[in-house]
Homo-oligomer: A and B are copies of this chain.
Amino acid sequence: MSSETQTSHSPAIDSRRLLADLKALARIGATAAGGVSRPAYSDADIAAREAVRDLMRDAGLEVRVDAGGNTFGSMRGRMDAPPIVIGSHTDTVPDGGRFDGALGVLAAMEVARTLRDRGETITHPLEVVDFQNEEGGLIGSKIVSGRFTADALSLVATSGRTIGDGIRRLGGDPEHLERAVRRPGSIAAYVELHIEQGMIIERAGAQIGVVEGLVAIRYWDVTFEGVASHAGTTAMTDRRDALLAAARFVDAVNTVVTSTPGRHVGTVGKLAVFPGGANVIPGKVVLTLELRDQFDDVIETLFERIEREAKRVANGTGTRVTMIPTLRNAPSPTDPRVREAVARAAEDLGLKTHAMVSGAGHDAQNMAAIGPAGMVFVPSVNGISHSPAEQTEDQDVINGANVLLGAVLRLDATL
């Protein structure tokens, strides 16, 4: 138990309650493989948000759903000041894990409950947030930070529903998203606890990651077009096989990314073959390319090399290639005051910290546009995430929630 490592003046969250909440939420959308499927706007996503609102109400928080479909639970402060906002998201990728997002929301809930149980009112109001559709492009926090453009309402999310329909399902109002926008300066701070989803903290021999910044992310839709034809009657030399082209492209992406020194990553995660019959030479392949790095110009250089490879592959296979950019997230540094609060809170608990860059995008990068934002990371076993095998040890869950609590108290005192 975390209490063993705490000095007498540190408040501590109720670890048993938090672990029980995590277990209960993981039942909503649970998969046979031991994971969780709660794609944004699915029935399971809606049910999980209702469960979070129940927890908020039980804790005496004032609950509201904003026009963007995000859930907020508020606690008054001693002063009528801008609030400290803590939270994350409860939507998941299809067949995802139990911690990605859920930990940040439930730990934030637990922080609010701990303060209430101690009869302690902090200076700033406190808000617990459950952002919508984080996995589909940080949609909820984009709306709150004013970075969302209405033309994206018609995009189809993983659950098969458009973002507009999804927001309506969540109780939001897609026709009046401006009502959900919060102006710069309107929050005192945003702090998000999240699993690391990598192996950096563990390899550094630390327990807590203090996030210095979030990487830039860019997506492209890549299409190879050849000619669909009969697999039995078309000689090898007559083929214009779009899948052969796509295969060489996937290999080339890996070669470019791994042969360039640095911590950037490049991924092809989605690939569809048309017409897709075992006895038909593929005429078209559509795939996604994703590149991430701390610096925009590194991504630019990688992409230029990959684009050259794509053209070379297309020439060699008699196919045509098009690469259309679909997403561009700028790199996002965190606020030094939040970093300091997180690091000091961890030290108070005797935990070793490691300063690091987040390879994943998080709602914190949008919240940084409206106030000082930062993140607390806890280790992921074997770095596995977006998978039923996603795991974070109980002690790390408890450490993370206690650091979040400590950081909130420090920010409340210093901001």
Contact = CB atoms under 8 A, between A and B. Distances in A.
B265 A269 contact: no
A317 to B, nearest CB: 9
A230 B280 contact: no
A257 B233 contact: no
Contact of A229 (B247, B275, B386): B386
Contacts of A21: none
A197 interface: yes
Interface stretch (A62-70, A165-173, A281-289, A330-338): A281-289
Interface in A141-193: 158
A49 interface: no
Given A236-B265, A273-B269, A198 B280 contact: no
A232 B247 contact: no
Given A248-B247, A361-B232, A387 B269 contact: no
A93 interface: yes
A215 B230 CA distance: 14
B386 A279 contact: yes
Nearest to A387: B228
B232 A243 contact: no
Nearest to A385: B230
A187 to B, nearest CB: 25
Interface string A220-237: 000000011111111111
B269 A232 contact: no
Interface string A237-250: 11001011011111
Interface in A89-116: 93-95
B257 A281 contact: no
Contacts of A158: 277
A111 to B, nearest CB: 24
A269 B263 contact: no
Contacts of A121: none
A355 interface: no
Contacts of A258: 236-237
A310 B17 CA distance: 49
Nearest to A249: B247
A267 B290 contact: no
Nearest to A251: B247
A363 interface: no
A267 B231 contact: yes
Given A158-B277, A269-B277, A360 B235 contact: no
The 4 tightest CB contacts between A and B, nearest first, are A198-B233, A247-B250, A197-B233, A232-B359
28 contacts: A95-B228, A135-B279, A197-B230, A197-B232, A197-B234, A199-B238, A228-B386, A229-B384, A230-B383, A231-B269, A232-B292, A232-B359, A232-B361, A233-B380, A234-B383, A234-B385, A236-B254, A241-B267, A243-B271, A244-B254, A247-B247, A247-B251, A270-B276, A271-B273, A271-B276, A275-B386, A280-B386, A283-B387
Interface of A: 93-95, 135, 158, 196-200, 215, 217, 219, 227-238, 241, 243-244, 246-251, 254, 257-258, 263, 265-271, 273, 275-283, 288, 290, 292, 358-361, 380, 383-387, 389
